Amino acid sequence: MPLSFKHLTSTKQLTRADTDAILAKAAEMEGTMAKGGSDLLAGKILAALFYEASTRTRLSFEAAMLRLGGQVITADGFQFSSLYKGESIEDTMRMVGQYADIIAMRHPEQGSADRAAAVSLVPFINAGDGPGQHPTQALLDLFTIQKERRTIDGLKIAMVGDLRYGRTVHSLSFLLGLYNNLSFTFVAPKELTMPEKVTSFLAEKKLPFVEIDRLEPALECDVLYMTRIQQERFADHSEYERLKNVYTLTAKHLQGKKATVMHPLPRVGEIATDVDSLPSAAYFRQARNGVPVRMALLALLLGF
Ligand code: CP
The predicted structure's pLDDT at residue 236: 83
Q: Is 57 in the pocket of ligand 1 (CB under 6 A)?
A: yes
Q: Return d(Cα 156, Cα 208) in angstroms, integer.
A: 10
Mean pLDDT over residues 161-174, rounded? 95
The predicted structure's pLDDT at residue 80: 67
Cα torsion angle, 93, 98, 100, 102, sign: positive
Cα–ligand 1 centroid distance for 54 (angstroms): 5
| 118 — pLDDT class (breaks 50, 70, 90) | very high
User: Among 50, 51, 54, which is best to mutate for testing ligand 1, by the most ligand atoms less than 8 A from CB?
Assistant: 54
Cα–ligand 1 centroid distance for 206 (angstroms): 31
The predicted structure's pLDDT at residue 86: 82
Residue type, 141: D
- Taking CA 191 as the corner, what is the angle to CA 185 and CA 192, rounded to the nearest 5 degrees? 45
Where do the domains of the chain lie, and which CATH numbers do they carry?
Answer: 11-133+290-301 (3.40.50.1370), 135-287 (3.40.50.1370)
pLDDT at 94 over 80: yes
Secondary structure string (H, E, C) spanning 104-148: EEEECCCCHHHHHHHHCCCCEEEEEECCCCCHHHHHHHHHHHHHH
| 43 — pLDDT class (breaks 50, 70, 90) | very high
- For 240-286, how does the pLDDT look when each residue is reduced to its tens digit (9 = 90+)? 888 888 899 999 999 999 999 999 999 998 999 999 999 999 999 99
pLDDT at 35 over 90: yes
Residue nearest to atom 4 of ligand 1 (CA): 56
| 2 — pLDDT class (breaks 50, 70, 90) | confident
Q: What do you get for the CA distance between the two ends of the chain, in Å? A: 10
Q: Is 115 in the pocket of ligand 1 (CB under 6 A)?
A: no
According to DSSP, residue 256 is labeled T
Q: Return d(Cα 39, Cα 33) in angstroms, integer.
A: 12
CA distances (Å), origin 81, targets 24, 52, 128, 195, 251: 37, 12, 18, 33, 44
Contact of 39 with 69, CB cutoff 8 Å: yes
- For 55-86, how does the pLDDT look when each residue is reduced to its tens digit (9 = 90+)? 999 999 999 999 999 999 998 776 667 777 78
The predicted structure's pLDDT at residue 208: 98
pLDDT at 155 over 90: yes
Q: Is 264 in the pocket of ligand 1 (CB under 6 A)?
A: yes
| 187 — pLDDT class (breaks 50, 70, 90) | very high
Cα–ligand 1 centroid distance for 265 (angstroms): 6
CA distances (Å), origin 42, targets 3, 70, 292, 297: 21, 5, 17, 16
Nearest ligand 1 atom to alpha carbon 265? 1
- For 227-241, how does the pLDDT look when each residue is reduced to its tens digit (9 = 90+)? 998 787 777 888 888
User: Among 265, 271, 283, 293, which is best to mutate for testing ligand 1, by the most ligand atoms less than 8 A from CB?
Assistant: 265
pLDDT at 117 over 70: yes
Helix (H) or strand (E) holding 71: strand 71-76
Q: Return d(Cα 132, Cα 80) in angstroms, integer.
A: 24
Known catalytic residues? 56-57, 85, 106, 134
CB 291: neighbour CB atoms within 10 A? 23
| 87 — pLDDT class (breaks 50, 70, 90) | confident
Residue type, 155: L
Q: Return d(Cα 114, Cα 96) in angstroms, integer.
A: 16
Q: Alpha-carbon dihedral of residues 148, 150, 156, 160, nearest 10 degrees?
A: 20
Question: Nearest 5°: phi and psi at 264?
Answer: -70, -20
Nearest ligand 1 atom to alpha carbon 106? 8
Cα–ligand 1 centroid distance for 56 (angstroms): 5
Closest CA to 90 of 51, 47, 119, 50: 119
Q: Is 166 in the pocket of ligand 1 (CB under 6 A)?
A: no
Contact of 163 with 185, CB cutoff 8 Å: no
The predicted structure's pLDDT at residue 244: 83
256 Cβ partners below 8 Å, 6+ apart?
none
The predicted structure's pLDDT at residue 78: 67
Q: Is 56 in the pocket of ligand 1 (CB under 6 A)?
A: yes
The predicted structure's pLDDT at residue 178: 97
Mean pLDDT over residues 32-53, rounded? 96
The predicted structure's pLDDT at residue 121: 95
